[in-house]
Amino acid sequence: MLSALSLFSGAGGMDIGVRQAGFEILADIEIDPYCCQTLRSVMDRDNLRTLLLEKDIKQVDPCHLMRDLNIQPGDLDLLFGGSPCQSFSQAGKRGSLDDERGLLLFEFVRFAKYFQPKVIAIEQVKGILKAPGKSGKNGGAFQSLKDQLEELGYCFRQQILNSADYGVAQVRERVFIVATKAKHNFSFPLQTHSKFDSQLSLFPLNHYVTVGQALKGLDSPSNDKGNLPKNSHIDITPAGDRRRIQGVSEGSFLAGELHLPASQRGKLTKKDTTKFRRLSFSEPSLTLRCGEIFFHPVEDRYLTPREYMRIHGYPDTYLLKGPVRGRSGRVRYLDQHRQVANSVPPPVAYAIAKEIDKFLASMQKTDKYF
């Protein structure tokens, strides 16, 4: 079986797709305690032998980890993950490499120096493409990552992929980087789904999956905040937010509903298109975010973590751990909504990992490694 190492594992969205593509994940590295609870529950349920390191990745010694995993440089097939995106995100302060979270991107380089994996796969927000480097030049952070991986002998490719193109009920564009040791062009997966009005191919693609399709079959959520259900299908909407979302039409947002009282809209401006936002049953979701929780298309409540998981492409058998936070609540680490929003949609991870699997198989046949 092909081997993999997961960095910045989060709630395990990327892990799911990588495993589905036939890889054995030797170890997960994740600092967030609630994400680690989620990962442990999956490992226990499925009897996985994955080593979980709950610690700051900067404190992990790759040499010691290779020894613990009993592997040598070059043995690892895939090194993958998505480092924190806040320093590159358009929604954040965009500190880039002046933010220590931005520097975590280069942990992939540090681990690659020791493990020398055959393939590296990295997910990041689109802002990484223009983020300034140490010199202040736009695009410098991305160029530095490319230069450092190429110095290690990797062929570097990147592409922006939209999750909706791969059967996820969510429009979510992210940059995916695939760097390979073999001097051969890796091909990113072809899309399997498209918009209703773009069926121009001789062999039409599947239509985008909608929020209505993703949520189909779910019962009404629990309202018992003192007894969190295992499947995380719970409504934790504060009474004040229920009142403010009343009258907002399906697929719209509070600031755009000018017929509603000014006291209900409050200080929202026309730019606040994601705040107090209802999704539409007939369209894919907007990109799930950490800052706001989207509202149900027709009910006066937030979407539940389970509904978020459906929209993100998680299987119903996958269970999250940790608290569920209301909009005004504060949780030091990642609550369940943010665990989902921070993760790579499993179907996208699977599509990429499957192409990596094919790539590795073709390179083995042609004996092109090193």
pLDDT at 131: 85
Q: What is the pLDDT of residue 145?
A: 95
CB atoms within 10 A of CB 361: 10
Span 147-197, pLDDT tens digits: 999 999 999 999 999 999 999 999 999 999 999 997 777 999 999 999 876
pLDDT average, residue stretch 3-9:
98
Task: Write down the pLDDT at residue 370.
Answer: 43
Query: Does position 116 have pLDDT exceeding 60, yes or no?
Result: yes
Lowest mean pLDDT among 91-105, 112-126, 305-319: 91-105
The pLDDT tens digits of the residues spanning 170-180 come to 999 999 999 99
At 81, which helix (H) or strand (E)? strand 78-81
Give the whole-number percent of the chain exceeding pLDDT 90.
Answer: 80
85 among known catalytic residues: yes
Q: Which of 35, 36, 85, 290 is catalytic?
A: 85
pLDDT greater than 80 at residue 89: no
Give the Cα separation of 29 and 18 in Å (integer).
Answer: 15
Residue 34 predicted with pLDDT over 80: yes
How large a percentage of the chain has pLDDT more than 70? 91
pLDDT for residue 100? 62
Instruction: Give 208's pLDDT tier (boundaries 50, 70, 90).
Output: very high
**Quick one: average pLDDT of 102-116?**
94
Say what the pLDDT of residue 369 is: 54
d(CA 338, CA 324): 9
Residue 199 has pLDDT above 60, yes or no: no
Residue 122 CA, distance from chain mean position: 11
C-alpha span between 189 and 115 (Å, rounded): 26
Structure tokens belonging to residue 140: 């410098």
Comparison of pLDDT for 135 and 235, the residue scoring more: 235
Contacts of 175 (CB under 8 A, 6+ apart): 123, 124, 125, 126, 128, 129, 158, 159, 160
Please state, in angstroms and rounded to a whole number, the distance separating the CA atoms of residues 179 and 337: 31
Least confident segment among 234-238, 255-259, 269-273, 323-327: 323-327
The identity of residue 232, as a single letter, is: S
What digits encode the pLDDT tens for the residues 56-76? 999 999 999 999 999 999 999
Give the separation between CA 257 and CA 266, rounded to whole angstroms: 12
Contact between 207 and 194 (Cβ < 8 Å): yes
Q: What's at 245, amino acid-wise? A: I
Mean pLDDT for the chain overall: 92
Q: pLDDT-derived band of residue 135, with 50, 70 and 90 as boundaries? A: confident
Task: Set out the domains of the chain in order of their start, with CATH numbers.
Answer: 2-190+344-366 (3.40.50.150)
Supply the pLDDT for residue 197: 66
